C-alpha cells in the first residue's frame, strides 16, 4: 500500500532536532572553556620553553669547550675558549655577562686570533645571561696540549653560569663546570629565585 504521507514535511520539532551546527549559547560556552584552558596551560608552556632554552645554551657551551679541548689535543697546541662580541676576536666580558664566544687553536703561539685559527663561534642572545666564575680571568679558558684547562698559568676549576632572570621555571640556572682534569659537565639545575649572580669557582 503506498505511503500517502511520504511527501508530508516532518514536524517542526523533528526538523529542529536534526539541524546541524551550534547554538550561540553553546559556542559561547566553548569559547569560555577554551580561554580557561589556555590560561591554565600558558605558564606551563612558558616554563617548558625557558627550561629548554637554558638547557640548549648550556649544552652549546659544553660542546664549544669540548671542541676547544679536542683541538688542543689533536694539534698539540693551545686552544682558547673566550668571550667574543664579534666572533673574530676575544674581548672583555660586558657587565651583564658574555654576549658571545669563540674557539680558536693558537697554532703559532702568539695568543692572538688569526682568521685561519678560528674553529667555531657563537652568540648569546637576550635574555639568556652567561656569567663566568671569578677564576676565569680575562674571560678566557685555555686548553693546553695535555687537555687540561687553565686561566692564565693556573689550573682551572670554575663554572660558567647559564641563567634566565625569571621565576618560571624555578630552576632558572644551569652551571657548566670545568674541572681541574679538563672534564666539562653541567651540574644540577639551581633555583636562584630569578636572580643571575656570578657563580663560585668550584
List, as one string, the DSSP characters of 89-134.
S--PPPTT-B-EEEEEE-TTSSSS--GGGEEEEEE--TT-EEEE-T
**Cis-peptide into 133, omega within 30 deg:** no
pTM: 0.79
User: For residue 62, what is the DSSP state?
Assistant: H
Domains along the sequence of the chain with CATH: 22-186 (3.55.40.10)
CB-CB contact of 124 with 132 (8 Å) = no
Tens place of pLDDT for every residue, the chain, 202 residues? 555 555 666 555 545 444 566 788 777 777 777 777 666 656 678 889 999 999 999 999 999 999 999 999 999 999 999 999 999 999 999 988 999 999 999 999 999 999 999 999 999 999 999 999 999 999 999 999 999 999 999 999 999 999 999 999 999 999 999 998 889 999 999 999 999 999 987 7
Strand order in the sheet with 158-163: 129-132, 158-163, 173-178, 184-186
Amino acid at each position: 500500500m503506498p505511503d500517502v504521507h511520504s511527501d508530508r514535511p516532518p514536524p517542526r520539532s523533528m526538523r529542529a532536532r536534526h539541524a546541524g551546527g551550534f547554538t550561540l549559547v553553546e559556542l559561547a560556552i566553548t569559547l569560555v572553556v577554551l580561554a580557561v584552558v589556555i590560561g591554565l596551560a600558558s605558564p606551563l608552556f612558558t616554563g617548558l620553553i625557558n627550561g629548554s632554552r637554558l638547557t640548549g645554551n648550556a649544552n652549546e657551551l659544553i660542546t664549544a669547550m669540548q671542541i676547544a679541548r679536542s683541538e688542543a689535543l689533536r694539534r698539540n697546541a693551545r686552544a682558547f675558549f673566550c668571550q667574543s662580541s664579534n666572533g673574530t676576536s676575544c674581548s672583555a666580558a660586558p657587565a651583564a655577562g658574555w654576549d658571545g664566544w669563540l674557539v680558536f687553536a693558537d697554532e703559532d703561539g702568539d695568543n692572538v686570533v688569526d682568521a685561519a685559527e678560528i674553529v667555531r663561534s657563537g652568540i648569546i642572545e637576550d635574555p639568556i645571561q652567561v656569567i663566568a666564575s671569578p677564576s676565569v680571568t680575562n674571560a678566557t679558558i685555555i686548553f693546553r696540549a695535555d687537555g687540561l684547562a687553565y686561566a692564565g698559568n693556573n689550573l682551572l676549576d670554575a663554572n660558567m653560569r647559564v641563567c634566565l632572570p625569571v621565576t618560571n621555571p624555578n630552576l632558572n640556572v644551569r652551571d657548566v663546570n670545568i674541572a681541574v682534569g679538563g672534564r666539562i659537565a653541567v651540574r644540577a639545575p639551581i633555583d636562584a629565585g630569578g636572580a643571575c649572580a656570578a657563580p663560585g669557582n668550584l
